[in-house]
Structure 1
Amino acid sequence: MLGQLEHELELHVPASEAWDLFGTLRLGQFVAKELPQLFDNVELIEGDGGVGTVLKLTFASGVAGPSGYKEKFTKVDNEKRIKETEVVEGGYLELGFTLFRVRLEVIEKGEESSIIKSSIEYEVKEEHASNASFVSVQSLATIAELAKNFLNKNKPSKEAT
């Protein structure tokens, strides 16, 4: 069984500024700091933020489901501003999924505006098809909203440039 979910949010910062957060390892640090109710830790296992980078995400105690998972960066395109990660250990794989991919794309909308498009693509074995109901873009929507507020607060003022 295949599935895909998407979420989009307009950011009031240039695409280059949004990509400086979403396209780098800063996003993992940001998530760990801003969402302690969801994640206890986001740990760099290997890599420098490029393709092949592996992160270990540990959920906070009390979060339903697996205690965490490892994800691998499978695509990082700085020109098109696209990053894809796949769960390679734990998490959804323990629930019968054979693929769980998150794609983040920063789309330039204007000089001072961009869109963060988040999507989840998954494949789950037929005998575990009911577990597809666990897939949600809510955490990606929450991360996008927190990032929007963070980027707006930390936007360089035009007078300073």
Structure 2
Amino acid sequence: MVGKLSHEIEVNVPASEAWELYGTLRLGKLIVEEAFPGVIEKIEVIEGGGEAGTIVKIIPGTTGSKAYREKFTKVDNEKRLKELEVIEGAYLEMGFTFYRVSFEIVEKGNDSCIIKTTVEYDVKEEAAANASNVVSIEPFAKVAEAAKNHLLKNKTA
């Protein structure tokens, strides 16, 4: 079973400023400190510096979930597109064969952009019930909202 979810939010900052956050490892810090304090304890860089090929370990906090790893499979500074895939744990242990999140910063004007988040997944038929129980765009919408607030608060003149 293949699925796809997406979310968009407009932010009144230049696309370049939004990409400075989303296109780097700074997004992980925002997730831990502002979007999900306590829920995500730490995002540890295992390999790389934020470019394609970077591997991070997501360490949950109070949720009782197990740690898992993600790999940045694409970081395109020109298109302002970042893709990451779960490569160990989490969804892969629940019958998913593929789980990818894409972040794209779409320029809307000089001082405005859209943060577009897409989740794509493939799950084995026998585990299809897991998809409806665990796949949600809501955590990424919360990240985008936290990013929007952070960007507006720290907007350069």
TM range (shorter): over 0.9
For residues 107-142 of structure 1, what are the alpha-carbon distances to aligned partners after superposition, in whole Å with 9 as ceiling and x for unaligned?
Answer: 000000000000100000011000011100111000
Aligned partners of 2:46 and 2:57 also within 8 Å: yes
Percent of matched pairs sharing the same residue: 55
Structure 1 residues 81-160: aligned runs within 5 Å: 81-133=80-132, 134-157=134-157
Structure 1 residues 1-161: aligned runs within 5 Å: 1-34=1-34, 35-62=36-63, 66-133=65-132, 134-157=134-157
How many pairs were matched up?
155
CA distance in 2: counterparts of 1:62 and 1:77, whole angstroms: 33
SS in 2 for 1:119: strand
RMSD: 0.9
TM (norm. structure 1) is 0.94
Large movers: runs of 4+ above 3 Å: none
TM (norm. structure 2) is 0.96
Question: Which consecutive residues of structure 2, in runs of 5 or more, have no partner in the other structure?
Answer: none
CA distance in 2: counterparts of 1:14 and 1:45, whole angstroms: 31
CA distance in 1: counterparts of 2:9 and 2:42, whole angstroms: 25
- Of the structure 1 ranges 86-95 and 54-63, higher mean CA displacement relative to structure 2 is found in 54-63
For residues 42-64 of structure 1, what are the alpha-carbon distances to aligned partners after superposition, in whole Å with 9 as ceiling and x for unaligned?
Answer: 1100001111000000112235x
